[in-house]
Every structure is written in C-alpha cells, then in structure tokens.
Amino acid sequence: MSDLFIECKYIIAGSDCNTIIRDGAIIIENNQIVAVGKTEEVKKLLAGHDKLERTNHIAIPSYINAHTHLPETLLRGICDNEKLDTWLNDFIWPFEMRMSSEDAYYGALLGCLELIEAGVAGFIDQYFYAESIEKAVTEAGIRALLCPSVFDNTPESGNLDNTWKHVRNLVSSKASNKNNLINYGIGPHAPYSVPEDCLLEIKDLAAKYSIPIHIHLNEIVKEVEEAKEKLGDTPIEYIHKIGLTEEKILGAHCVHTTDREREIMRKSNFTVLHNPQSNLKMTSGIAPIYKYLDLGIDVAVGTDGNASNNDLGMIEELTTSAMLQKYLANNPKVMENANVLKLGTIYGMKALGTESKGISENSIADITILSLEKSHWWPQNDPLSNLIYSSSSSDVTDLIVNGKGVYLNKEHQSLDKERIIEKCSSIAHKILTEMGN
C-alpha cells in the first residue's frame, strides 16, 4: 500500500483529542500525517494516494496498551477466581515454567492479533523470552517497548543471576540499536523480588543507554507492608533512596501510595502504568489516578497480562478507568472525556518513548478506525462520549501503524490468523494437559 487518503464521518483530532472534525479526511505520506481537516479541503491535496472510504466511521489516535505480558494470551481463562497465592503457585507459574521460547513467540503473535483487532498500535511489555516477542511484533508491524524481566526462576534463564546476565547482554546489544517501532527497556520485576545490588546494576545499565526501567510498584497492601519491614521503606521510597528514580521509571500499578511517595513520583521522571481491571479482579484495589493527574504525574493505561484481565482491548479498560476514578474521587468531574482518550493514546505513546500529537499535521500516522454501524453509536449527540462510554473493541475496523495499514476492513494485513490460532490452541492444550488440568 502506498500513501493514504482516509475519509471518515468523524475524526477526533488534535494533541488534546478535543477537536471533532465532521466529514473529515486525513492524508498520510510515509509514516506522517501530512493533512487533516474537512474532506472538501483535504481533497484538494489528493494525488496518487490510496483511498480508504470510511464514511460511516470515526478515526481516532491509536490506543497504546501501556502494561502487559504478551505471551500470557496462552494462559487466558485458566484461573479467574482464586487468591493470589493459589493463582500464582498452582496455575500461572506451573504454566509459564513449561513455556518454550517458541511457545512464547506464538503467544506473542496471538497477542498481536488481539491488539490489532482492538485498534491498539503498540504496547509496553515485561516478560521473559523478549527476543521471541520481538520476532512476533516485527512480523505484526506494530510498536513495542520490550522490557525483559529480571526475576528469579524464569523458564528462559533459570535463577536471578543467570537471568540478569542474559538480560544485560540482550539489552546491551539491542539498546544501542534504536528502531522505529520496537525499542528495549529493562524490567526488574519488583523491589521485593530483585535484590538491591542487582537493582543498582540495572540502574547503571538504564543510565548508560538512556532506557526506561519498567517495574511493578505498590500493587497490593501486603507488598507495601512487607517492603516497610524488609526494605525499611515503602516501595517507591525505597527505589528513590537507592537512586533508581534518577532514571526514567515506568511504574506498573501504583495502587497504594503515600503522600511522600507521590511527591517522589512528581519530582522524578515517573510514569504510572495503570491497570484498573486487573487491579479489581486480583483484588489489589483502585489506584488514585485522579490524584496523580492533579499532581502532574504522567499516567498511561494498560490491561496487564491475559492471565489476569483477560483481554488486551483498551476501550473497555478506559471506560472502567474513567468510571472508577469518578467513584473513587466521589466527583464526576474527574476524567473528562478527551482526557480519558489521551490516557489511552497520546500518553501511552509518550510512555512508549514516541512523541505523538494525535491526529494532527506532522504527527506520526498511528490511526484507529471504528465503525459507527452498531446502534450503541446513536444518536451521535457527542461522538467522543459514545467512544468512551458506549463503543466496544469489536467495533474497530482498521488500524494504521506508522503509516501502514496492518488491519483493513477487519482483515489482517500482516499476520496469518488461522495458523497462529491453531498453533496457540495446541500449545495451551499441551501445557494444560501436562499440568494435569
């Protein structure tokens, strides 16, 4: 496909996602949006562009899933109703320890299929088998910030020492090699699972290559209490004390934080990766996102892995996020509609390390298109409200990433869906059988 001319009934334009263009068009050349406006105006610039007529559709900046563990697609639905210990010990870890790098590759491919169908142009990952994930994402043609997990006892490298050696080599070899769509960060699992000396070496690596540190923080109450006992401080105070916050921190969850921790977050280069559905389902709590936003702390939204959510779509995640914050703040004025969309798009891109001005001239051409066919889109008193509160992931018809259509008219352009699904079904079946399920 060459350069594109896209015609839509509505376009949510601008870096603040608050300009709605009715009967609009977009011109994409290479990976950039070069024109956006009323169709009659933009049409004057039409030359040899391929046309996408989407006249009963809405175009929005593409979603970014800011925290996940992509190959966990394979674990979808294996355990929904158990306490954390049972969930981990009897289901998640036994499954993961049986996973090969090839299994992870196929799981990641399925994750890419699901992200693409939900209009998600990229994701931030923390998992082992990062090279398998990279291979899958490269084939899919979407964006990723891959942060290989540093964790004790992984199926890829065994104990923490070996894992850290492997991750250090991998990240060192990848990080100097900046790619348009796929970049590397580093993923120490959490302050309670990675010892201090290792965290300090991770900090040096992050500093050397100017890459972010993606780490789970303050997810559950017990973790915060144990940190106080064992590390002498709450998790975010602890990582601040040892100097980790001198680097860019992508802090997943941040459900339970103190005023002092929020002050640290505010003063450092810190982005909260918020996972509202996983936090409910795992009984972790509700992160005070409205407070973070008030303080000017960056926030992006993710789904967490399929083992805990159980899907990768961002539309429902953002609806949940908006409703929960209104409830938590006891104030319906928080989470205004355009801001909700920004959390899932522009701020996600920023967390990923890529500047986006949404659907604006000279912005990067990541565009998601949804059909307005379903009755839940009518009447269109406010299409942005309909997007946030009434639409569903399955309304997505097209996804353009970096100027390329990876999903057109609900057809995958980059991946062989049938083969991936078949392969993943048989992998999941094989592992579950081995586990005796």
Q: How far is the CB of 127 from its own copies (least distance, A)?
A: 18
Give the C-alpha separation, 129 to 210, whole Å.
22
Provide the 3-class DSSP secondary structure of residue 409.
Answer: coil
Q: How far is the CB of 149 from its own copies (least distance, A)?
A: 22
What are the phi and psi torsion angles at 42 (to 5°)? -65, -30
Closer residue to its own copies, CB minimum distance, 81 or 177: 81
Q: How far is the CB of 60 from its own copies (least distance, A)?
A: 15
Q: How far is the CB of 427 from its own copies (least distance, A)?
A: 8
Rg of the chain in Å (alpha carbons): 21
Q: How far is the CB of 408 from its own copies (least distance, A)?
A: 16
Closer residue to its own copies, CB minimum distance, 77 or 436: 77
CA end-to-end span of the chain, whole Å?
Answer: 46
Q: How far is the CB of 40 from its own copies (least distance, A)?
A: 22
Closer residue to its own copies, CB minimum distance, 284 or 354: 284
Ranges of H-type helices in 176-242: 196-209, 221-230, 235-241
Closer residue to its own copies, CB minimum distance, 233 or 317: 317
Q: How far is the CB of 275 from its own copies (least distance, A)?
A: 12
Closer residue to its own copies, CB minimum distance, 242 or 421: 421
Three-state secondary structure of 64-103: EEEEECHHHHHHCCCCCCCCHHHHHHHHHHHHHCCCCHHH
Closer residue to its own copies, CB minimum distance, 75 or 167: 75
Closer residue to its own copies, CB minimum distance, 241 or 374: 374
- Cα-based angle 388, 307, 349 (whole degrees, multiple of 5): 45
What are the phi and psi torsion angles at 203 (to 5°)? -60, -45
What are the phi and psi torsion angles at 106 (to 5°)? -70, -40
Which has the closest alpha carbon to 399: 22, 38, 57?
57
Structure tokens at 336: 């205004």
